[in-house]
């Protein structure tokens, strides 16, 4: 269900969806799990805005439970190569891959009661039944490579040491807005 607002335009009064109005103000909302489809949708929006006024700030409002690592890293890679600066704003909870994307903002803002959750990657809902030991070992090795990649990203974006990141991500670590700013995950509280 889309909410509409009434705006006066050159054609008179028009009903415009609030989403379109926010998008015209260069505000994007990422309030769903990170999947290949949601990633493609975010990238299309970023690409359009970056091409149609390069250098002008774009804001991404994030409240996401996380999701697919590869899909999320594509968003991060795209943000890193854009001409326009990207400010990320945590509204609610940015968890897992949502937190990694949040950390790629030039400015990383949080609402006072929002939270960030980071942890090591997991197999998710993968069925391990019937797999042989070497197959399992290969999957664990792949997961450790992902852990290393994400750990390096968190360390780079926050200024934490890699050892400190691994200590925090070995279990679910939830940061309040104040804790996120203290640890370098966020840059300010709105």
Q: Is 96 a catalytic residue?
A: yes
* Helix (H/G/I), strand (E/B), else coil: 111: coil
Catalytic: which of 84, 96, 114, 183? 96
Q: Is 52 a catalytic residue?
A: no
Closest to 110 (Cα-Cα) out of 185, 186, 29: 186
Closest to 95 (Cα-Cα) out of 59, 62, 70: 62
Within its chain, how far is the Cα of 133 from the centroid?
34
Catalytic: which of 39, 104, 114, 119? 119
**Looking at residue 34, what DSSP letter applies?**
B
Q: How far apart are CA 120 and CA 95, in angstroms?
A: 11
Indicate which residues carry an active-site annotation: 96, 119
């Amino acid at each position: 269900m889309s909410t509409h607002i009434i705006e006066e335009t050159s054609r008179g009064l028009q009903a415009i969806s609030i989403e379109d109005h926010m998008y015209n103000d260069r505000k994007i909302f990422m309030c769903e799990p990170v999947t290949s489809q949601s990633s493609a949708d975010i990238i299309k929006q970023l690409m359009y805005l970056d091409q149609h006024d390069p250098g002008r700030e774009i804001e991404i409002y994030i409240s996401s439970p996380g999701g697919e690592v590869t899909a999320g890293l594509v968003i991060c890679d795209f943000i890193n190569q854009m001409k326009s600066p990207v400010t990320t704003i945590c509204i609610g909870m940015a968890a897992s891959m949502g937190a990694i994307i949040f950390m790629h903002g030039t400015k990383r803002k949080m609402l006072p009661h929002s939270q960030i959750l980071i942890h090591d990657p997991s197999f998710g809902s993968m069925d391990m039944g019937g797999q042989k030991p070497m197959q399992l070992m290969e999957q664990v090795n792949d997961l450790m490579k992902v852990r290393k990649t994400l750990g390096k990203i968190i360390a780079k974006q926050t200024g934490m040491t890699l050892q400190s990141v691994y200590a925090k991500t070995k279990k679910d670590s939830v940061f309040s807005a104040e804790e996120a700013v203290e640890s370098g995950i966020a840059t300010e509280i709105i």
